[in-house]
Structure 1
């Protein structure tokens, strides 16, 4: 990184410094590389540490930097696309998610309503993770009723990734008739934060997808993306629905 004269720049010092740092991240650093400490960076750019800290915080908000516990401030990987145009069963060719586990559990009330299942029914719950450059960027829970995978009881598989893959394979036997997807901004719950290496309450994007087959909702996916690592993209159909809560 080089130095720059900030005193003659009319915009706020930290904002101009953010621009300079952003350019340096593209040219001088690689993904995952740890930045020098704040004292060294502040001396190199001739700014107060408070100014530097403001610039770093802004870059973190924009997803250019990540603060990793026990590591320091690192260069973030490129943003992950959250596309509204994807049309395929989970686990099909090209899917970048990795299965982690599969358990039987009662679905959350909202998911049970979408599936039309009895609130007491246990569903196959597939847990998957999505990573980029070795870092977790999204976690997913896929809820699959027993009626959607009727041949599963005959399949012998332990719990864990092996059973998750079998559930996904059996689900793909159904003809996918359609799907819809909703995206909303949320806050990371304790479980999400632990899986995504974030603090509880950190901003996340929650993507809920319903998969339709045989005239009903065959599965529901709830995927939680780190808001600082993802980018929402739109398909040609423009099939993203934006809703607003009703006034109280």
Structure 2
């Protein structure tokens, strides 16, 4: 099997799938319509582009998966707002979103104490030691963006939920309560599909690609602070980092 070079989405042999041509035309249309505009009816677009409605739907489906369109049942399909772009850094979700002009909030789903199990190795504790599991939906302007599970060693951080309702910044709460310094982190990012439960909590399609981020943060002495699993909607948020030699 040979690997063909692709430039601008067009293979070297020049044969472009019809839906991809329609997708390119739709992108131009979205730029003209602007954010929040209602997409014209399928039958009108199919007639304008001279394609079958099934071809048009494939193009619209890809643009929806990419977060360029948003479908609302009973209302139609609309031009989506640009994705949020959050920096990869040791900082609060709250702080990052506020700098982007968005209103951050969180909805608590689960607060429980469980054995560390396999996570104990990352947290420097035994598998039988207890960890606090705090699961929250991350929101921006009340729109679900991510589902975050944080695991904290109970022995190291006793009473961590005292005076804290889980809706504010855990990062800032930990700094204020325990005088912590978040000095380093190891983070892994990959693409996954959400489980039915996760998709329901994030108000998204289970077939929608998600960004899974798993982070272990450490203090200035190199001791693990927390293990965090964050699942983000790939159609609504992206991440960036600055690299230096």
Give the TM-score normalised by the residue count of structure 2. Answer: 0.74
Post-superposition shift, 1:111? 2.9
**Contact conserved, 1:80 with 1:229, CA < 8 A, in 2?**
yes
Of 100-109 and 204-213, deviating more is 100-109
SS in 1 for 2:57: helix
* Aligned residue among 198, 205, 218 for 1:199: 205
2:231 is the counterpart of 1:224: yes
- Which residue is equivalent to 1:242? none
Q: Deviations over 1:183-209 (max 9, x none)?
A: 011110122211222233532110111
Q: Aligned residue pairs: how many?
A: 222
> What CA distance in whole angstroms lies between the structure 2 residues aligned with 1:71 and 1:121?
51
* Aligned residue among 138, 153, 157 for 2:146: 138
- Give 5+ residue unaligned stretches, structure 2: 1-13, 99-103
> What CA distance in whole angstroms lies between the structure 2 residues aligned with 1:108 and 1:200?
28
- Give 5+ residue unaligned stretches, structure 1: 1-8, 239-248
**Contact conserved, 1:99 with 1:126, CA < 8 A, in 2?**
no
Post-superposition shift, 1:25? 1.0
> What CA distance in whole angstroms lies between the structure 2 residues aligned with 1:119 and 1:188?
26
**Contact conserved, 1:105 with 1:124, CA < 8 A, in 2?**
yes
Q: Return closer, same or farther for 1:225/1:156 CA change in 2, 3 Å cut-off.
A: closer
Post-superposition shift, 1:63? 2.5
Aligned runs of 1:76-155 on 2, under 5 Å? 76-84=80-88, 86-88=89-91, 90=92, 93-94=95-96, 97-101=104-108, 103-106=111-114, 109-132=117-140, 134-150=142-158, 152=160, 155=162
> What CA distance in whole angstroms lies between the structure 2 residues aligned with 1:62 and 1:42?
21
Computed over aligned residues only, the root mean square deviation of the Cα atoms, in angstroms, reads 3.1
Post-superposition shift, 1:67? 3.2
- Which residue is equivalent to 2:5? none
- Which residue is equivalent to 1:22? 27
> What CA distance in whole angstroms lies between the structure 1 residues aligned with 2:225 and 2:146?
22
> What CA distance in whole angstroms lies between the structure 2 residues aligned with 1:149 and 1:169?
14
2:62 is the counterpart of 1:54: no
